[in-house]
C-alpha cells in the first residue's frame, strides 16, 4: 500500500481509503465487519464515515469492528447534514457539532476522531462560530485534524482565511465528488487545494459504479447493482456518462485490468489527491479495488483517459450535498 500526506499536515493516509455509507444498509453488519477487517489486513488505514450514514448504523458497526484495532486506523467522520426533525438537528452550529461529536464517539467506541469533517456548508451559522468550535475540539484532544466537504471554492477559501486571521486550526482536507465522470473540481477546487495545502479526498470515485462499465445502456440494471438496490441512483444516469463508462471499460480490457482499477488509479495520479475512498458491499469488491493502489498508469494511458473525460470538467458536478 502507498501512503500520502493528508494535505499539508504530517498525517499519512493510505492511497486507497474505505468508504462506509453502505454499512448497515446494502451491506449487513457481518459483511461490513468482514470488509473492515480485510481492509485493515490489506494495508488500508483510512476509514471514512458520517453520523448520518444508514441512520448512524455505519458508525456503530465500525466501532464494533475496530475493538482492539483502533490504533491501526485513521478514522474520519462527519457532521452537518440533517440528523433529525428538530431546528438544531442540522448545520454546523456549536450546539449541533458538539452534540454530534459526542454521539459519534460513543457509537465509534473511541475517545477521539482523527479527522472530523463538516459535511456541507451551513449558510445559517457564521463560519467563525463553526471554526472556533472545531478549534476547541482539537484543543480538547477529541479531534486530531479537521476537514470540510461540499463547500463551494469561495466558501472554503473564506473559511481558511478566517482560520488564518484568528490563529485557529485550519482545514487540512476537502471531500468532493471527483472522478473521470466529474472533473469539475479541476476548475477551482484543485488549484485552491494546491495553493493552500489541502488534501483532496474524492467521493463517488467510480461515479457510483458507472465507471465500472456494468451499465451498458441507460436501461441496463444488472442484478445486485446500485441501480437495483437504490432505484433513486438512476438520477445520475445520462447518455454521456454511460458512454464514458464503456470507453473506460474498453481501455481497461486493453490494459488487462478492470475499469474500476483504471479509474481509481487515475484519481491517485491527480495532484492534491491524498486518498481515494471507495465503498464495498462485499469483500470481493474491496479485493479488486485494492489492485488500484499498485497499478502504475503510463503516460499514454493518462493522456487517453484525459482525452475521453475532458468534457467532464465542465457542466454540473456529478453530486453535491447541501442543506436546503
* In contact, 7 and 172? CB cutoff 8 Å: yes
Give exposure, 41-75, as e/b (b: 16+ Cβ within 10 Å).
Answer: ebebbbbbbbbbbbebbbbbbbbebbeeeeeebbb
> What does the H/E/C string look like for the chain?
CCEEECCCCCCEEECEEEECCCECCCECHHHHHHHHHHHHHCCCCEEECCCCHHHHHHHHHHHHHCCCCHHHCEEEEEECCCCCCCCCCCCCCHHHHHHHHHHHHHHHCCCCEEEEEECCCCCCCCHHHHHHHHHHHHHHCCEEEEEEECCCHHHHHHHHHHHHHHCCCCCCEEEEECECCECHHHCCHHHHHHHHCCEEEEECCCHHHHHHCCCCCCCCCCCCCHHHHCHHHHHHCCHHHHHHHHHHHHHHHHHCCCHHHHHHHHHHCCCCECCEEEECCCHHHHHHHHHHHHCCCCHHHHHHHHHHHHHHHCCCCCCCCCCC
Please give the backbone phi and psi of residue 136, each rounded to the nearest 5 degrees, phi first.
-60, -40
Out of 4, 53, 145, 204, the active site residue is 53
* In contact, 60 and 90? CB cutoff 8 Å: no
- Whether 53 is catalytic is yes
**End-to-end Cα separation, the chain, in angstroms:** 39
Name the residues annotated as catalytic: 53
Amino acid at each position: 500500500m502507498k501512503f500520502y500526506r493528508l494535505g499539508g499536515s504530517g498525517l499519512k493516509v493510505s492511497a486507497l481509503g474505505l468508504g462506509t455509507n453502505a454499512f448497515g444498509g446494502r451491506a449487513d453488519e457481518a459483511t461490513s465487519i468482514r470488509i473492515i477487517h480485510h481492509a485493515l489486513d490489506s494495508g488500508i488505514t483510512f476509514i471514512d464515515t458520517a453520523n448520518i450514514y444508514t441512520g448512524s448504523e455505519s458508525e456503530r458497526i465500525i466501532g464494533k469492528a475496530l475493538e482492539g484495532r483502533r490504533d491501526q486506523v485513521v478514522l474520519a467522520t462527519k457532521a452537518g447534514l440533517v440528523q433529525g426533525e428538530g431546528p438544531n438537528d442540522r448545520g454546523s452550529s456549536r450546539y449541533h457539532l458538539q452534540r454530534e461529536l459526542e454521539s459519534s464517539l460513543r457509537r465509534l467506541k473511541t475517545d477521539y476522531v482523527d479527522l472530523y469533517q463538516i459535511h456541507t456548508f451551513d449558510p445559517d451559522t457564521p463560519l467563525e462560530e463553526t471554526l472556533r468550535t472545531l478549534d476547541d475540539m482539537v484543543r480538547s484532544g477529541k479531534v486530531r485534524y479537521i476537514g470540510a466537504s461540499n463547500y463551494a471554492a469561495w466558501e472554503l477559501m473564506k473559511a481558511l482565511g478566517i482560520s488564518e486571521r484568528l490563529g485557529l486550526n485550519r482545514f487540512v482536507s476537502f471531500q468532493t465528488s471527483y472522478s473521470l465522470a466529474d472533473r469539475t473540481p479541476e476548475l477551482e477546487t484543485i488549484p485552491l487545494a494546491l495553493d493552500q495545502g489541502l488534501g483532496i479526498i474524492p467521493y463517488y470515485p467510480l461515479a457510483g459504479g458507472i465507471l465500472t462499465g456494468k451499465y451498458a445502456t441507460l436501461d441496463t440494471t444488472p442484478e445486485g447493482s446500485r441501480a437495483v438496490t437504490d432505484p433513486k441512483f438512476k438520477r445520475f444516469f445520462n447518455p454521456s456518462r454511460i458512454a464514458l463508462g464503456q470507453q473506460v471499460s474498453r481501455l481497461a480490457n486493453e490494459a488487462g485490468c478492470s475499469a474500476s482499477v483504471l479509474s481509481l488509479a487515475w484519481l491517485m495520479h491527480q495532484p492534491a489527491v491524498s486518498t481515494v475512498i471507495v465503498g464495498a458491499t462485499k469483500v470481493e469488491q474491496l479485493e479488486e479495488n485494492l489492485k488500484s493502489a499498485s497499478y502504475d498508469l503510463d503516460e499514454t494511458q493518462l493522456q487517453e483517459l484525459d482525452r475521453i473525460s475532458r468534457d467532464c470538467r465542465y457542466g454540473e458536478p456529478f453530486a453535491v450535498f447541501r442543506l436546503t
